[in-house]
Structure 1
């Protein structure tokens, strides 16, 4: 069975507190969603602002493969705004639960039904495709919900949507009302699930199993409060888990991680590390038992191949690590310690872990160099001097002194801020000496308050296209950024030197 993917990242996803997208950003995301293979894109809510209307219009005229939809209340002015934006498909809604009718709309049940019928008939008279949502459906009286759906069907609705507006449903209940909707309308049924109790994806899957043909989802599960059903989780669950029938989507799953990162960067909402499918830790392993199993057969501790969603697995050294994981990580650099040497390296790593220290690849190589008495396996780049000045009216300025493979280099530069100035000064040195440049910089806050910790992730690239990433955590943004940059430089330069040595052998 083919399941339709209706993406509402640009509408419900943008309702995430703190997110506000320009028309240009919305169009760029829509193009990414189209490449991903979504069937429908809810481009926005045209009535709310001129910028929103422009964004929807731009997307509607972008010649995308996906159907382009806009949100409209059961008001003629909302529907007219959608038409003015160039839409031929609207998603119109009115609340149907007693709590919404009484405290939000101040309408009787009969008045709500009348407004729903009027809106659907008006939209159909304009030649629009209409998807109707009964907002807060899962808290609506079940018999009344069936009456609403039957009424809008008779008015000409093309599709019915069941919103679990506050994430209140259970998989069992949403399956029951999905069957109600199908029996009452004989139309294609969608579900729009929120994640307030962490059940959005489970509820969407249950509804599909009960006969729903479509799910409203967002990239990374962003949206109001706790968010929406996550597109990547929903799609991969349908594709990979065991069901009574086979489900398929039009999604190119190899683009899931890339799309997730792209959206995360534009909207400014970090993906939690342990998030399924697209979180940084989703295919990461540290435990010795797990690493050993994955190296023998990835299916032991990975339900799917990371490549299926555009990822690669990675191993972390730490106090939970085992000899097999250490050996596998060193093998990436062409280093093969003896069994005794591996054991000693592991012991040193565990001691650092017990002290609460995070062991980077560069530090692992340095430890290995000491144990194996190989001078080449050590930090090649050291920061020996650093200062930065900034203030009101003065352009931030940084001075950096690096020691690269025993030679001292000095770099100075300006920037829009102290971090930018510091990175620019380092790049001025490494661009000339090592042909390494920064490709990506990401800053995240990982704790609150005036003493918040920040996390800086940097990706660097050399002249041959080789890339390496490094991450640093600290209280000072500037120092943490510089440390991440130095770690990235060490990692990529060590990789290059070790590759050259191995090719020479």
Structure 2
């Protein structure tokens, strides 16, 4: 079932313009190297984005070189460069060999008077001259009336008609400060579409959390291209999020894009890692909790049929995500029983009731219930505690660190019945210890999904609680915690506990 709101949008093709490398990099605190930008550009190409705004070449020599190298990277997507309605800006974009020049000028009275100090007639002439100059040099042109949603409507349409007459290829309607509401956006785009026949693109900011809604409303009204960023990055509160916009188009409207949606989560994680802007777990579509369930009613329903408490028109597999059943004080018996069965534990009804009671006790204390907690509780109640079932048994852990010594850890452990000794360096003592544990596992591969350290008592000898989540090559995820006065030991113990449970699941 597709819950499209307008029949004409069903199967309509919408172009995706990604500005992560330009507006996304303007996120306060974000600065990408050229290699990182190229990595993101290649990922966006893999994802199926139609066109990327690679940067603002005139802003610096490094930016210009970066845009030129992305142009020369042999990508399938089109590359766009940003330019003011100034010939030197445009020439710099053209020198980079971009497929399209995106030129802009402020049109709202508040920006026009306060920033560029030009009359309406002067702005109109500057826009026409810039578009003609770009077209005379054989490049595609997109024109933006900056702060369009606060611009006098008659003047806005007049300037768009002017650039259309100058053979502009596409116009952009930016909600530069994120103040329009979806109903007003629908009306604005509809009015522009009546007067201008070239394609309409929108660029929505998220100051009131409406960027995606405004983008979708614009498409309803006739826009054929939307500007987005990965993870909604951008100035202030950011831009329309790529994942939310694309999946809204696909799943709710039945529209089409060239996006290969199975790479959406992969792309989000890459950009999160490179920008170091962490996504909240509740982030729609790509967040850790997007397809996670804890409530007993919800987990029971989802285990029987996934669309009982999920959209149905969008599954985790569509976007490269995984469904998770999370344990906690709201957990139901079905979820707990299934988690135990995955680990080869089959409690009877009485044992299951006692396990449920212990889990809820932990949750009532404000603690997260990890997989290792569950298995430990279950084994205790079922009388199955046995070190012989553990794939890894720690024997010794030692760490050397200091201002003139590269942090180095040595770990001795019994791995699958054989004693192993390993040593490894790291950026710090915890990293070195975790790297060493990884090195002695041999062919068994996993990746760290979550790592948190919290002090749970005061003073320099405070107890440290470490919570770790790991994932194996088949996508199975488990979590574990450990508490110790020594942060390194707590980290190693938590990692070993998680790996033991993960290997048991195998």
TM-score, normalising length from structure 2? Answer: 0.88
Alignment of 1:56-205 (within 5 A): 56-205=67-216
Alignment match, 1:500: none
For residue 429 of structure 2, the aligned residue among 389, 394, 418 is 418
2:316 corresponds, among 306, 324, 340, to 306
The residue correspondences of 1:221-300 to structure 2 (distance < 5 A) are: 221-241=232-252, 243=253, 246-300=254-308
Find the residue that maps to 2:407 and give its secondary structure.
strand
Shift of 1:443: 5.8
Q: State the distance in 1 between where 2:160 and 2:194 align.
A: 10
Residue 460 of structure 1, CA deviation: 5.8
CA deviation profile, 1:483-505 (whole Å, cap 9, x unmatched): 54223322222223xxxxxxxxx
Contact 1:438–1:458 (Cα < 8 Å) also in 2: no
**Take 2:471 and 2:246, find their aligned partners in 1: how far apart are those partners?**
32
Are positions 1:26 and 2:37 aligned together?
yes
Does 1:342 pair with 2:352?
Answer: yes
Indicate conservation of the 8 Å contact 2:372/2:481, yes or no.
no
Q: Which of 487, 494, 503 is the aligned partner of 2:504?
A: 494
Q: Quick check: 1:163–1:192 contact (8 Å CA) kept in 2?
A: yes
Structure 1: state its 5+ residue gaps: 497-505
Match of 1:499 in 2: none
Q: 1:324 aligns with which of 334, 353, 365?
A: 334
Larger mean CA deviation between 296-305 and 435-444 belongs to: 435-444
Q: CA deviation at 1:374?
A: 2.4
How far, CA to CA, are the matches of 1:307 and 1:414 in structure 2?
37
- Among residues 24, 35, 57, which one is paired with 1:13 in the alignment? 24
Which of 127-136 and 383-392 deviates more?
383-392
| Cα distance change on mapping 1:101 and 1:10 into 2, 3 Å | same
By how many angstroms is 1:266 displaced?
1.7
**Is the Cα contact below 8 Å between 2:268 and 2:286 reproduced in 1?**
yes
Mapped contact 1:217–1:231 kept (Cα < 8 A): yes
**CA shift for structure 1 position 340:** 2.3
Deviations 1:426-462 (A, max 9, x none): 234434xxx4455447667999xx99x9987554658
Q: CA shift at 1:156, angstroms? A: 1.8
Distance, in Å, in 2 between the alignment partners of 1:471 and 1:73 is 53
* Aligned-partner SS, 2:135: helix
| Alpha-carbon contact 1:458-1:469 (below 8 Å) kept | yes
TM-fit CA distance, 1:167: 0.9
Instruction: Please name the residue that 2:7 is paired with.
Output: none
Cα separation, 1, equivalents of 2:137 and 2:466: 52
CA shift digits 1:359-384 (9 cap, x unpaired): 21122112222222223597654556
Taking structure 1 as the reference length, the TM-score comes to 0.88
Partner of 1:45: 56
Q: Secondary structure at the match of 1:391?
A: coil
Q: 2: distance between equivalents of 1:84 and 1:102? A: 32
Measured in 1, the distance between the counterparts of 2:466 and 2:154 equals 52
SS at match of 1:394: coil
Measure, in 2, the Cα distance between the counterparts of 1:324 and 1:460.
Answer: 23
Could you list the runs of 5+ residues in structure 2 that have no partner in the other structure? 1-11
Instruction: Tell me: CA distance 1:317–1:445, structure 2 relative to 1, closer, same or farther (3 Å).
Output: closer
CA distance in structure 2 between the partners assigned to 1:262 and 1:399 by the alignment: 31
Question: Does the CA-based 8 Å contact 1:260-1:278 persist in structure 2?
Answer: yes
Contact 2:82–2:102 under 8 Å retained in 1:
yes
Q: Look up the SS of the partner of 2:114 in the other structure.
A: helix
Indicate conservation of the 8 Å contact 1:72/1:90, yes or no.
yes
Distance verdict in 2 for CA 1:443–1:25, change over 3 Å: farther
Superposed displacement of residue 402, structure 1: 4.6
2:372 maps to 1:362: yes
Instruction: Give distance in 2, aligned partners of 1:233 and 1:391.
Output: 46
The aligned residue for residue 3 of structure 2 is none
Task: Tell me, yes or no, if the aligned pair for 2:470 and 2:499 is still in contact at 8 Å.
Answer: no
SS in 2 for 1:430: coil
Describe the superposition over 1:183-236 as per-residue Cα deviations: whole angstroms up to 9, x where unpaired.
222110011001110000000000000011010001111111111101111111
CA distance in 1, matches of 2:475, 2:384: 24
Whether the 8 Å CA contact 2:371–2:480 is kept in 1: the answer is no
For 2:91 and 2:481, how far apart are their aligned partners in 1? 51
Q: Is the 8 A contact 2:468 2:498 kept in 1?
A: no
Contact 2:370-2:481 within 8 A present in 1 as well: no
From the superposition, tell whether residues 135 and 476 of structure 1 become closer, same or farther in structure 2 (CA, over 3 Å): farther
